[in-house]
Amino acid sequence: MEVAPLLDAHFPAHGNRRGLSSGGVCAIWLVHILSCADHRLNQVRAWADQLPTTLSSFLPAPLRPTDLTDDRLADVLRALSDDTRWAAKLNQRPRLGSNQQPSAPEADALSN
């Protein structure tokens, strides 16, 4: 789904942060939420510590002890909860003008 690069493009981490990107932090947190049905920030680090091989298979570098701390997750949550940033990003998307027609949908291969 390429969640991490998308979030990194629109919600970059603070310049002083090192290690895993904000998008990477968010992607791991989403995996934790879905696999454990638990959204609590203080549970993510311990969960990730139990899965070093699994997580390292799709991360660009090994996790650092500071990558999934409560404050790092809270920073990501704070950025994602900023309505003005979302509105600015959504307003940048191209829209159909009043004189533009939507393109015709492509025929589904299974519809024949």
Residue at 43 is within a domain:
yes
Specify the pTM: 0.71
As a whole number, the mean pLDDT across the chain is 80
Domain-embedded: residue 56: yes
pLDDT for res 11: 78
Q: Which residues are CB-neighbours of 44 under 8 A, at least 6 positions away?
A: 28, 29, 32, 68, 73
Question: Do 29 and 76 meet the contact criterion of CB atoms below 8 Å apart?
Answer: yes
Number of domains in the chain: 1
Q: Which domain holds residue 22?
A: 3-82
Give the residues of the chain that fall short of pLDDT 50.
98, 112
Question: Does 112 fall in a domain?
Answer: no
User: Tokens 């920030």, residue?
Assistant: 41
- φ, ψ of residue 111 to 5 degrees: the values are -80, -10
Asked if residue 94 belongs to a domain, the reply is no
Distance CA 48, CA 61 (A): 14
The CA R_g of the chain, rounded to the nearest whole Å, is: 18
